[in-house]
Structure formats: structure tokens, C-alpha cells
Structure 1
């Protein structure tokens, strides 16, 4: 039976309190082991379906049809490779990326890494604030400003989960993912995409991202798909499974966790692709090529599709997306704070601090720009995430390639080549975007 935490514990959000809390019997059949290892990948995948993805995918589909669909696919494949590195690091070392960074780098360097990781958490939470606020606005008719204020009360949800075990949280995440997935299946049935054109969009094309605007969106999609704080998160939560410290047990745990990771991120890929396909089919194909706001997408869906059900499902799945991302953001924040600073605070305090910092730009943006702030801030938040990514990737790749740390589980030559290539591509794309933004090169 899985170990039950006492009701006074701050689990499931405090990683140090749930480490080794899910027992995996050595002699269990393969299907039972798969079921026991399933879960961490689901929590990580939630971060790949947050409202920031909606903003980038909707704008990409509306403006450019299916032509940027291959960016979603390639970004998801990159995410699978990188999350598998983080997962393997946590299982083999028994420590997470933040803890190892604190131990292996000088204090000033580790503090800079911590600050950048916290910025990525706040950028992600900003997307969740805006997405949740917009969902409240669409479903209940309140003003967007009040919607932003309502999102502050998700701290109560975090408090309500106090004392639950980690498997309970994973089950809740599965239910929210199922809600989002089912909603989009119904919406795609209603929209009826042109599937040959969808297949054509899967073919990589340099021309599709040659200009400044499509490149900006492509990097936004990348930032929304490969999230830096998810690397810290994954390296920690895989340690919730009890694994013997023998080579064979570690190898088995890595294989089973890899299945969990890839299967979960495939679900995220399908949902992200569905968002872009929905926007391309409903808006771009009908001449609405300037739908850059989630609210505009909601307003246009009913008249274009011919039923209000599509719009209602759209808002419900948006709300599920924002709330589910809140949970994983809280856990990631705890991992980063405990790992880099060796500091543990109650989960509701961590949630309150992060949400307060995200509310400030959200309230300022909505106050100054009104509803039009949502789309701009969402896409900008995803680009910020992408800009932070190399600073989490570099230590992750270095550590998983270190045989002194990883032993026989260190990256092989082919893996090294692939992940360093990803690091180079991501860093180069970010540099290009910055240079274009400040006008040093043409778009």
C-alpha cells in the first residue's frame, strides 16, 4: 500500500515530503508497474497545455493556417527528449536539478539560476492568471479585472489539497487533462478540419518561419512547449516512486518512467495541435486571419461553427487548463525554492507569493490596455519562458553527460549530439528574436 502522509503535512506540494511515497513492488507484473509509474509525466504535461499555449497556437492558426503545425510537433519532440533527461537525472542521482545546481556551482551562479527559474515560474503563472480570468469572464460575464482578482483565491484550492497523497493529485490532473482532451475532440468534430491540409502543415518549412512575426510566434510556441521550470519539476517528482539503488532497478525505473513521460507528452502534443488546427479551420479558413485574442476566438466560434456548444466547451477547457497549471506551478516553485535555497515554506505561502507577483503585471496590463492585454501578455510570457530555457538546459545536459555523477546512465554520444543541437537551436532562435526585436537585424 502507498505510504499515507499525515493530514498535517503540506503534501502533495512539498517534494521533500512525498519522496519515496509510492511503493512499486519488485515482483509486480509489467502492467502493474506501468500503472504505478504513471503520473509524474501527467503532472509535467499539464505545463504544456496552459493558457500560454492557447494564445500562441490560436494566433499561429489564425494568421498562418496550418503552416506552423510542424513547430508544435518539433517542439513537443524536443520536450520529450529534454524531459527524459530530467527524469533520468532524478532517478539515478536521487536529487533534483535545483539541488545539484546548488551543490555543483558557486553560490552567486546558483543564485542567478534560482532567480531565472523564479522568473519562469512567474511568467507561467501570469499566463495562468490571464487564462483563468478570461475563462471567468467568458463563462460568468464578470469583468476581466474581477476575473484577475478571482484567480487570487486559487490559494484556497491549494489549501484544500493539504494532506492529500501524491497519487490523489495525479488522479486530479488526469481528470483535468481528460476534460481538456474531450472538449477538443468534440470541437474538432464540430469544426471539421481539412485533414489533407493538416497533414501538409506537419512538413517542416523554413519559409513558414522566415519573417519576424512567424518567428516570434514559433519561439512563443517553443517557450510554451518546453518550459524551464518543468525540467526542475520532473527531476524531483519522479523520486516519489520507491526504487532500489541497484543498476537493474534503476534501469527498469528509467524505462517505465520514459513510457510515462512520452505517453503523457503525446497527449499534450495532441491537445496543442488540436488548438492550432481549431484556429486554422475555424478562423484562417474563413478569412478571420487576425484572431489574436482568446476572447475573439470564443466570440467567433459559435457563429462560425453554428452552435454555441463549441464556445462553451472552449471556455470550460480554458478554465481547466488554467487551474491544472496552477497545481504544477506550485510544486515546481517548491522544488526550485527547496533545491536552490534549501528553504521550505508552507505550500499556501509559496502559492500566495507566486500568485501575488503574477497579479501585478496582469492588473497593470488589463488596467492600461483592457481586454486587449490578454493576448499580448500571454504570448510575451511564453517568449520569456523560451528565453529562460537555455539557463536550465545547460546544467541539465552537462550533469546528465557526467559519468562521475551518472555512471553507466550518462548520456551516450548520440544523445549528447541531439540535446546539444537542441540547446544550440533554442539559443540561436532566442538570440535572433532579441536582435530582431531591438532592430539590429531585419525581419
Structure 2
């Protein structure tokens, strides 16, 4: 089994350069086929574990205990459905969502889609800046502003990945995800959650969302979980597998990629649930119901749990979360720029531009509000992501419903109904948020 990049590749990932570069064997045993197709789902799942998720989940767990756990689960299930649509679109058409949008819509609409997609990437990168800066601050003892400056150097990580084949990059990301997962397994073992209460929190409850504050957090959780740029990303990176263009091979690729997607996002669901459960068990159940900052969570873990190891693990997993998201954000930016604008630039330049745009609000926020800016900006960044979702969902659902485009792999009636239901729920939640922001309807 060979994994190679063209010798002309100048960056760790450029969509058009790695398409079809991961070899797959149609005659391989089923377990080996799963292994060959495993990877794109993991890269996408990284976006579901970034520091933005930490902010919303920690605040939700601290303030409301386990009662919003069902929001994490339902948001993750919605993400699985939508990422499977994105994956299928890429495999069937051999093109990604951005490329197809460029061909289908007028130039002004395409430019608008591109701007919104870029905003979502910047909002996500803002969360990575703040999360990484806070991890440096907590682990190294430097000031938060110094931590923000240190995050600017993560462009060196992208340069360090130059020339690596795509399979190697997937393995590196898998290692970072494993670090996050292991860290939370140990932390949950240390805090001893009340599992019957955890199970009760999995039951959907409208009463838990009956006031503005939990609803705002729920929308933040939704934005942190279902990320719009991940829909563009997934439709592109599934094309790294060299799949024959006959219906049987395409159907097999969809089935194997679906397993990769579901397993990866279920793991991301467990991580996000673990963050909320940790906050509920460590803070809410001990009377610390106003822990809305990641730094406060770090400071309180050691005295509450009784060991400093919990806090150190917390900081390490936070750093791993931010650094892993750095790569996927760069890849998504390349996909969006190449797809919408047919423009290619080196990955390090793409990373630098995005990071500078994210550093501006981070520096201003920290300078004006100090450490207290982190929690507010993190939650706000996730709400911004949620606001972008309908503009990525609409073309995705329309295209996967288009028989002329998808042929025999068009959405079935049940999938179509579920996809439109999710679109309505997301749009309604965003409309509510806008009305609340401008003081309409109390």
C-alpha cells in the first residue's frame, strides 16, 4: 500500500495536488478497506474538539450541570448527518462543495459564499488563538498577551509538515486526538461523575432551554459542533482516495467513508460530552456554578479533585486541541480559496493570513478586557460559526437532492426530510439569536 504526493507538491495540502493519491485495493479484506478509507473523518472531527467547544461546554456544565448534555448529543448527531452528505457529494461528483457552488451560482453569490466561509474560518481560528494562548499561559506561566503572540508562530508547524504525504498527516492528527481522549478519560476517572445524573442529562428537555442564557449557550454548542467550513473540507479530502468511477466502486467508497465519518464523530461526541461532564461534576456539583472561563476551570481543578495532575492534563489537552485545529483550519482555507476563487497560495501564506486576521480581535480583546476576554470571545466565536451554517447547508442539501448531479446516489426521501429539518432548526435558532441580540421579543 503506497501513499505518495506528486513531486510538484509545494505544501502539506493543496486540494488539487493530493486528489486520488491514497491508493485503495478493491480486493483487500473488509478490515483493510476500512483502514484504507480511515482518515478524512478524523481530520474533520478535529474541528469538533477545538477550544471553542471547551468554552461552551465548560460554561454549560458549570452553570447548568448535566442538563444541556442532550444538546451536545443532538448537535453531534446532526453533524454526522451533514458530514455524511458532504462526504457523499465529494465522492460521487469528484468535486468539492466550493467548486460545485462556483459552477452553479452567479459570481456575486459565489463571492458572498466565499466571504461567509472565510468568516467562519477566522472565527474558528480565533478560538484556536485564544485556546492556545491560554494553554501557554497556564502551562508556562507567561502572560496571556505573550501566549497570544506565541500562537502566531504555529505557521512553523505548517512549514514543518511540508512535503509530508497525506497519510502521514492523518496519523499526526490521530495522535493529537488520542492525546485529548486519553487526557479526558483520566480526568473523568479523577472527578467521579454521578452517572445516573449524566444519563438523565441525555434526555432532551425543552424546559432546560426555557430562558435566554441556556438557549444562547445551546446555540454556541451547536455552532461549536456543526462547523460550516468542515462541510467544504470533508467534500474535498475524501477525494484523496483513488476510487474507480463505476457505480459499484463509488457505492463501496461511500459505505466505507460513512464508517470512517460516524466512528470519528462519535469519538468527537464523547470528547465534547466529557468536557461538559467534567465541568458539571467538578464545578456545578461542588457549588462553583459561575465557572465560565477556561482559566478558572484550570485553577479550580487541582483543589477540587485533590491532585495537580488533573489541571496539568487539562492544560495539555487544551494545547493539543488548539494545535490540531491549526492544520485543519489551514486545509479548509485552501479548499475554500481554491474552490470559490480558483486561487492557490502556499499553505504557510494561507495560515499566516488567517492567523493575522484572528490575532487582531484576540489582541484587542485581551488588551481591553484582560483574561476575562477569553471566555466571552470563545463563546461569541462559536455563535458566529452557527450564524454561518445555513449558508453552507442550503447548497449542500440542494446539491445532494439533485438527481442530475448525484444520479443513483441522490438523497433518499427520509434523508432529504431530515436534512431540511436540520436546516430549519439551525435557521430558527439563528433567527432567535438575532432577535435576542437586538432586544426584540424580550
Same fold? TM cut 0.5: yes
Kept in 1, the 8 Å contact 2:37–2:257? The answer is: yes
Q: Deviations over 1:194-224 (max 9, x none)?
A: 0000000000000101111100000000000
Task: State the superposition RMSD in angstroms.
Answer: 0.7
Asked if 1:271 is matched to 2:268, the reply is: no
Q: Deviations over 1:169-199 (max 9, x none)?
A: 1000110000000000000000000000000
Partner Cα separation in structure 2 for residue 20 and residue 47 of structure 1? 23
3-state SS, counterpart of residue 363 of structure 1: helix
3-state SS, counterpart of residue 353 of structure 1: helix
Partner Cα separation in structure 2 for residue 335 and residue 20 of structure 1? 15
Aligned equivalent of 1:237: 237
Q: Note the residue ranges of structure 2 that are not aligned, 5 or more in a row.
A: none
Aligned equivalent of 1:292: 292
Kept in 2, the 8 Å contact 1:7–1:162? The answer is: no
3-state SS, counterpart of residue 244 of structure 2: coil
Runs of 4+ residues over 6 Å off in structure 1: none
Partner Cα separation in structure 1 for residue 269 and residue 372 of structure 2? 27
Quote the offset at 1:75 in angstroms: 0.1
Quote the offset at 1:5 in angstroms: 2.2
Quote the offset at 1:25 in angstroms: 1.0
3-state SS, counterpart of residue 411 of structure 2: coil
Aligned equivalent of 1:158: 158
Q: Deviations over 1:134-171 (max 9, x none)?
A: 00000000000000000000001100000000000100
Kept in 2, the 8 Å contact 1:11–1:17? The answer is: no
Kept in 1, the 8 Å contact 2:184–2:275? The answer is: yes
Kept in 2, the 8 Å contact 1:8–1:162? The answer is: no
Asked if 1:382 is matched to 2:382, the reply is: yes
Partner Cα separation in structure 1 for residue 177 and residue 104 of structure 2? 36
Quote the offset at 1:6 in angstroms: 5.3
Q: Note the residue ranges of structure 1 that are not aligned, 5 or more in a row.
A: none
Kept in 1, the 8 Å contact 2:50–2:127? The answer is: yes
Aligned equivalent of 1:258: 258
Aligned equivalent of 1:411: 411
Quote the offset at 1:251 in angstroms: 0.3
Partner Cα separation in structure 1 for residue 210 and residue 400 of structure 2? 34
Aligned equivalent of 1:213: 213
Structure 1 residues 193, 3: closer, same or farther in 2, change over 3 A? closer
Aligned equivalent of 2:31: 31
Aligned equivalent of 1:433: 433
Quote the offset at 1:279 in angstroms: 0.1
Structure 1 residues 188, 3: closer, same or farther in 2, change over 3 A? closer
Partner Cα separation in structure 2 for residue 64 and residue 26 of structure 1? 50
Partner Cα separation in structure 2 for residue 35 and residue 11 of structure 1? 25
Kept in 2, the 8 Å contact 1:72–1:272? The answer is: yes
Q: Deviations over 1:350-380 (max 9, x none)?
A: 0000000000000000000000000000000
How many pairs were matched up?
442
Q: Deviations over 1:205-261 (max 9, x none)?
A: 001011111000000000000000000000000000000000000000000000000
